[in-house]
């Protein structure tokens, strides 16, 4: 085993250095270690197709990140969500490189950004620079890898875009080498038999697995209109991560029916991602089954043929050879083969037809249900397609079952606020939600953002759950982490304070020392606020710190303390 590891390490080193040489004329690896992926381009995420690659950073933060090519710094964004701290460099070949979730920027960029933050008195900023304003050299240090924003573990999100159209490109097409000799793994294949236009029955196909080829045990005997779905992933060498598959092609009797691969994307594709998965399986069973058909013409930019919806009709006594080829970027293939034979239509569903019809909510019709304490509005285009939606009202709670079809605009809830509330009760009133889970013993209440008028709170919802009127009367908590009141903090470089809000969450905060605004960086995952003493030279030893924190409904906590620090000249 040790020998093997040593050999593998040697191979990796050789490839790393030779690849660096190979591309010394081209783009540089943004990190100083061989590229291992924890995410591939195009892979399915909750609300989007992954627009870059996730480069592993040895499980830690702080790896040097370098510019892949000469270019102009055109944009820097600092956010507690999304890309966190991110840098955008426009190169002279028409591409832009993006580096996201950074821990911090290089001192050159950090200085520029801090100046803007102090000027605007804001931590979260976005700054666009003019072309040529700040030039960066290839391999110049631009920042350090991190875990900021919507990242759930240390890594570098790296993106290449077509600068003109802001179109994300698959970085692997542009010279980045990833060792991958492992074909995609297919977990399950499903056949969706359509009973009516938007109603189907899901059939799991038993597959025999032989290396990278999969086949159904027997000829599948069915009839009617069908689509196919799959679950599976792709792994690269030396990494355990289950990443997305690059290419898939469905052919029936040799004819290409539905295929797409991820060479590039457009951002609007992500808005419709739920149309390319079995939404019910994802939402209810938490299994992501990707569809090789579409019931709504979603016009994804990456679909090979947007005119073919991937659905096919099985005719009695005909044979259908189904072949699905899955391929990773390094051309490792897995192939699924099935044979379907058409049989007589059994017509078993005809009787239940009217039952099914009755419960459907149609996207071209607006519905409204009025209850004692609330209105439930199902607007036009609440869902992409006719949807079976179940809900029940009980005393003060509306329970909406988990959606089985992808929401487009979602539902609107309108809660009547009780009359004669005093101003504090009125401010603290909000909508709470309990998720519907199989064994939800904890019954944790989530805050639902709502817009308040005199007598109503309005909320939009994209998911089922139990919704009710509640209140948040607890202000955020504030706790110093690495200092105490009235203490000397000469050796402290960074001041850390933990802030937390149990229900509605933190909306804003503001800190100053001796009356002057200070930059406190906020990391919601660790619930920490940071201040770097190097930012400001104070001319008194006593530092009067004042921190104001407000939650989403306006409950406020204020923390005041004095600490002492030698005056640095």
The encoded tokens of residue 556 equal: 């406020």
List of residues 6+ apart from 521 with CB closer than 8 A? 123, 529, 530, 531
Burial code of 257-283, b = ≥16 C-beta within 10 A, e = fewer? bbbbbbebbbeebbebbbbbbbbbbbb
Least separation in angstroms between CB 269 and Zn ion: 16
Instruction: Say which residue the tokens 């982490």 belong to.
Output: 481
Say whether 171 sits in a helix, a strand or coil.
helix
Pairing mode, if any, of strands 333-342 and 213-216?
Answer: parallel
Least separation in angstroms between CB 49 and Zn ion: 11
Least separation in angstroms between CB 282 and Zn ion: 20
- CA–CA dist 380, 383 (Å, integer): 8
Beta bridge partners of 337: 215, 323
Instruction: Say which residue the tokens 């019954």 belong to.
Output: 443
211: left (phi over 0), alpha (psi -120 to 50) or beta: left
Beta bridge partners of 517: 512
Residue placing its CB nearer to Zn ion in the complex, 54 or 72: 54
Residue placing its CB nearer to Zn ion in the complex, 26 or 82: 82
Spatial contact of 98 and 88, defined as CB atoms under 8 Å apart: yes
Residue placing its CB nearer to Zn ion in the complex, 66 or 157: 157
Residue placing its CB nearer to Zn ion in the complex, 147 or 259: 147
Binding residues for Zn ion, rule: CB under 5 A, are 39, 54, 157
Residue placing its CB nearer to Zn ion in the complex, 39 or 476: 39
Least separation in angstroms between CB 112 and Zn ion: 25
> By Cβ distance, which residue is nearest to Zn ion?
157
Residue placing its CB nearer to Zn ion in the complex, 233 or 538: 233
- CA–CA dist 193, 209 (Å, integer): 24
Residue placing its CB nearer to Zn ion in the complex, 76 or 205: 76
The angle formed by the CA atoms of residues 301, 303 and 304, to the nearest 5 degrees, is: 120
Q: In angstroms, what is the C-alpha Rg of the chain?
A: 28
Least separation in angstroms between CB 71 and Zn ion: 21
Residue placing its CB nearer to Zn ion in the complex, 241 or 251: 241
- CA–CA dist 338, 563 (Å, integer): 73
Q: 401-404: which pairs have CB atoms within 8 A and are 24 or more residues apart?
A: 401/436, 401/464, 402/283, 402/284, 402/436, 402/463, 402/464, 403/279, 403/280, 403/283, 403/463, 403/464, 404/279, 404/280, 404/283, 404/284
Least separation in angstroms between CB 155 and Zn ion: 7
Residue placing its CB nearer to Zn ion in the complex, 39 or 154: 39
What is the 8-class DSSP label of residue 80?
S
**Phi, psi dihedrals of residue 316, rounded to the nearest 5°:** -55, 130
Least separation in angstroms between CB 58 and Zn ion: 17
Beta bridge partners of 370: 375
297 CB-contact burial (10 Å; exposed 0-12 / middle 13-18 / buried 19+): exposed
Least separation in angstroms between CB 355 and Zn ion: 45
Residue placing its CB nearer to Zn ion in the complex, 238 or 241: 241
Least separation in angstroms between CB 248 and Zn ion: 21
Sheet holding 494-500, edge to edge: 477-480, 494-500, 528-532, 521-523
Least separation in angstroms between CB 176 and Zn ion: 14
Least separation in angstroms between CB 111 and Zn ion: 27
Least separation in angstroms between CB 84 and Zn ion: 11
The encoded tokens of residue 509 equal: 């905060």
Least separation in angstroms between CB 265 and Zn ion: 13
What is the 8-class DSSP label of residue 218?
S
- CA–CA dist 269, 389 (Å, integer): 26
Taking alpha carbons only, the member of 552, 555, 366, 375 closest to residue 457 is 375
Residue placing its CB nearer to Zn ion in the complex, 34 or 168: 168
Residue placing its CB nearer to Zn ion in the complex, 39 or 363: 39
Residue placing its CB nearer to Zn ion in the complex, 65 or 506: 65
Spatial contact of 430 and 424, defined as CB atoms under 8 Å apart: no
């Amino acid at each position: 085993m040790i020998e093997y590891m040593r050999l593998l390490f040697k191979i990796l080193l050789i490839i790393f250095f030779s690849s660096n040489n190979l591309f010394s004329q081209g783009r540089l690896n943004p990190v100083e270690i061989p590229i291992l992926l924890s995410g591939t381009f195009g892979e399915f995420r909750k609300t989007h197709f992954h627009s870059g690659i996730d480069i592993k950073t040895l499980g830690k933060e702080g790896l040097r990140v370098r510019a892949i090519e000469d270019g102009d710094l055109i944009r820097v964004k600092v956010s507690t969500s999304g890309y966190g701290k991110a840098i955008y460099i426009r190169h002279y070949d028409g591409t832009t490189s993006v580096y996201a979730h950074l821990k911090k920027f290089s001192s050159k960029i950090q200085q520029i950004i801090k100046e803007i933050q102090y000027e605007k008195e804001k931590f979260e900023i976005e700054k666009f620079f003019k072309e040529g304003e700040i030039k960066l050299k290839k391999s110049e240090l631009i920042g350090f890898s991190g875990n900021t924003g919507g990242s759930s573990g240390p890594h570098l999100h790296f993106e290449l875009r077509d600068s003109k159209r802001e179109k994300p490109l698959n970085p692997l097409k542009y010279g980045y080498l990833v060792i991958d000799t492992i074909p995609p793994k297919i977990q399950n294949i499903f056949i969706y038999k359509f009973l009516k236009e938007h109603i189907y029955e899901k059939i799991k196909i038993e597959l025999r697995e032989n290396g990278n080829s999969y086949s159904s045990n027997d000829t599948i005997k069915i009839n009617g209109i069908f689509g196919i779905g799959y679950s599976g992933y792709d792994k690269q060498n030396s990494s355990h991560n289950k990443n997305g598959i690059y290419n898939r092609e469905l052919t029936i009797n040799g004819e290409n029916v539905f295929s797409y691969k991820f060479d590039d994307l457009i951002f609007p594709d992500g808005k419709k991602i739920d149309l390319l998965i079995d939404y019910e399986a994802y939402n209810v069973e938490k299994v992501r089954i990707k569809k090789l058909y579409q019931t709504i013409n979603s016009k994804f930019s990456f679909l090979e043929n947007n005119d073919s919806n991937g659905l096919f009709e099985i005719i009695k006594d005909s044979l259908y050879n189904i072949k699905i080829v899955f391929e990773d970027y390094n051309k490792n293939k897995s192939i699924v083969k099935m044979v379907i034979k058409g049989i007589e239509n059994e017509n078993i569903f005809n009787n239940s037809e009217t039952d099914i019809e009755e419960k459907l909510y149609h996207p071209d019709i607006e519905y409204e249900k009025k209850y004692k304490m609330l209105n439930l509005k199902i607007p036009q285009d609440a869902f992409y397609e006719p949807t079976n939606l179940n809900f029940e009202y009980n005393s003060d709670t509306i329970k909406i079952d988990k959606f089985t079809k992808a929401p487009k605009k979602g539902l609107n809830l309108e809660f009547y606020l009780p009359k004669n509330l005093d101003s504090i009760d009125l401010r603290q009133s909000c909508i709470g939600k309990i998720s519907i889970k199989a064994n939800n013993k904890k019954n944790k209440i989530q805050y639902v953002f709502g817009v308040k008028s005199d007598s109503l709170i309005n909320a939009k919802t994209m998911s089922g759950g139990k919704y009710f009127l509640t209140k948040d009367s607890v202000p955020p908590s504030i706790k110093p982490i690495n200092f105490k009141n009235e203490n000397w903090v000469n050796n402290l470089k960074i001041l850390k304070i933990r802030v937390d809000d149990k229900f509605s969450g933190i909306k804003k905060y503001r800190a100053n020392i001796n009356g002057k605004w200070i930059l406190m960086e906020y990391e919601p995952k660790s619930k920490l606020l940071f201040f770097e003493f190097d930012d400001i030279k104070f001319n008194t030893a006593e530092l009067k710190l004042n921190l104001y924190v407000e939650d989403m409904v306006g409950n406020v906590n204020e923390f005041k303390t004095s600490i002492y620090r030698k005056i640095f000249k």
